[in-house]
Amino acid sequence: MSGSDDLFERAKRTIPGGVNSPVRAFGAVGGTPRFAVKGDGAYLEDADGNRYVDLCQSWGALLFGHGRKEIVDAAAEAAGRGTSFGVPTEGEVLLAERIVAMVPSVDQVRLVSSGTEAAMSAIRLARGATGEDAIVKLEGCYHGHSDALLARAGSGLATFGIPRTPGVTAGAARDTFVAPFNDLDAVASLLEANAVAALIVEPVPANMGVVPPDPGYLEGLRRLCDEHDALLIFDEVITGFRIAPGGAQERFDVIPDLTVLGKVMGGGFPCAAFGGRRDLMEQLAPAGPVYQAGTLSGNPVAVAAGLATLDLIDREDPYATLEETAEDLEAGLALAFETNGIDATINRAGSMLSVFFREGPVRNFRDASEADHERFARFFHHLLNEGVYLPPSGYELWTLGTAFGDTEREAVLGAASRFTG
Ligand code: PMP
């Protein structure tokens, strides 16, 4: 078995940049990406036999840790009956019923295979339903890599400092207005000056690092959208099933028109969804005229893993424990940084958190980008050497799952307390 260095050298010959998604390449922190061979609960094992406490957890997709038995068993059992049919299955009905029961805004839901596809399709539906072309997004929020949604996005674009990307047409860019997050006046001005199909937002952005909404901000977006006949879309790809069973809309009690879901709901498999008000969702083909489709949509293996995940949520109701664990981790990190004289702001919502090396508050993308990202790179490598794997960018979130316990917390805090700058 080759180690990570060898594999990365080989990968770069046949895969652009050696990776299948840019942030994996360690571009922001330097060094060689670790190639995974195994995950086990809170731990990740690499191709050189190193074991890490994993705070990336497949970018938030794993609420119950790596290789959770019930999820793996459900997927294996489904795969044994067939990996793809291209005809409907009972599992899809069960998963749709479960999502409708859990997520307040969702009367109907369509399954797709990635968050990108879900967000892109929700935008098309909003345009089809309203007859308007323009959309509003918030700076630093990431909604996947479809053309309309790449303007001043977070995640990999923020990590690599890419304000816009070649290949997005001038028309797509022209139809996307961008406002700073946590600034209602900026949104009001855009909505007053332009007819807009929808405003899309991560209710708790996590792709510029975690940036919680100011009190009243989400309510303000709801009111402004209503006043200007724009649809409100919550992208809950990260927050969905993570910060409450019904996501941020349940936690903050603000109900969007459409919701985009992914990550946790697939239990680590390619499964995502968009859903919302019945009158809007019924505009989708074949019920209505707005076209959207997918060969692998509702894939039986992914659906079985998703159902097993939502079953575990029902059975274990993990949110209070996750909140407590994350709170302890946050407090311990704050103490470690303070003891070592390091300026840091920790933003947290439930089991999602981010460390920004700067004084607070961090309320928007500009604040996040003014953090000391070189210090983050040093911190990342310090932790990596001590057996803790963080997402390799200061613009990404750390996520905790139920597999993260006292031992793992002590390992992370011990390593953080030895970081001196
Ligand atoms: N929306 C949000 C909020 C995301 O965080 C992501 C991915 N990190 C996406 C959409 C895109 O999802 P995917 O990578 O599955 O296409």
153: pLDDT strictly greater than 90: no
Q: What is the pLDDT of residue 18?
A: 97
pLDDT band at 148 (very low <50, low <70, confident <90, very high): confident
> Annotated catalytic sites, by residue?
142, 235, 263
Q: What is the pLDDT of residue 12?
A: 97
SS3 179: strand
SS3 229: coil
Instruction: Report residue 6 as tokens.
Output: 């060898």
Ligand 1 nearest atom to the CA of residue 155, by list position: 8
Ligand 1 nearest atom to the CA of residue 207, by list position: 5
Strand partners, 352: 349, 399
pLDDT per residue as tens digits for the range 316-346 = 999 999 999 999 999 999 999 999 999 999 9
Q: What is the pLDDT of residue 163?
A: 62
Which residue's CA is the nearest one to ligand 1's atom 12?
A: 115
Could you confirm whether domain 69-315 is CATH 3.30.70.270?
Answer: no
Residue ranges around ligand 1 (CB below 6 Å) = 59, 114-116, 119, 142-144, 155, 202, 207, 235, 237-238, 262, 272
| Highest CATH level, class, for 4-63+318-417 | alpha beta
The share of the chain scoring above pLDDT 70, in percent, equals 99
The stretch 26-50 carries a mean pLDDT of 97
Instruction: Count CB neighbours of 182 within 10 A.
Output: 19
pLDDT band at 171 (very low <50, low <70, confident <90, very high): confident
CATH 3.40.640.10 placement within the chain: 69-315
pLDDT per residue as tens digits for the range 72-131 = 999 999 999 999 999 999 999 999 999 999 999 999 999 999 999 999 999 999 999 999
Whether the model clears a pTM of 0.95, i.e. scores above it, the answer is yes
The stretch 29-43 carries a mean pLDDT of 97
Q: What is the pLDDT of residue 388?
A: 98
The share of the chain scoring above pLDDT 90, in percent, equals 93
CATH 3.90.1150.10 placement within the chain: 4-63+318-417
pLDDT band at 162 (very low <50, low <70, confident <90, very high): low
**Single-letter code of the amino acid located at 319:** Y
Give the number of C-alpha atoms closer than 13 A to the C-alpha of residue 349, restricted to the C-beta side. 23
